[in-house]
Amino acid sequence: MGSNTRSILSSDLRIVGEITSTGTVEILGEVEGSITAHGLIVGSEGSVSGQISADTVEVKGKLDGRVSSNAFTLRAAAQVAADITYSTVVIESGAQIEGRFTRAKG
């Protein structure tokens, strides 16, 4: 197991609590809590509220909270209200953003 594994949380799931993975977590349902993973993908129907720490984060759905990520990507349909610390960021036209972006030092 490692960073090449992928866990998918289906659209019918609602999780409250903590998720930890050495691989990529794809959220198609709803998560409220903290997520620590190598990668995080919030699907177009997905919703995440809480603290996120991941090397890569890609948002197509809804995200609310605090994010720490090396590579942060917002797709066109993303709706984000968060404080984000990043090394690199990509924001597609159409993404809805509210919050603060801070570039990581180093």
pTM of this prediction exceeds 0.85: yes
What CA–CA distance (Å, rounded) separates 40 from 36? Answer: 9
Rounded Cα distance between 11 and 38, Å, is 21
Give the per-residue pLDDT at 79.
98
Predicted confidence band of residue 2 (pLDDT cuts 50, 70, 90) = low
Per the CB < 8 A criterion, the answer to whether 74 and 88 are in contact is no
- pLDDT in the model for residue 37: 98
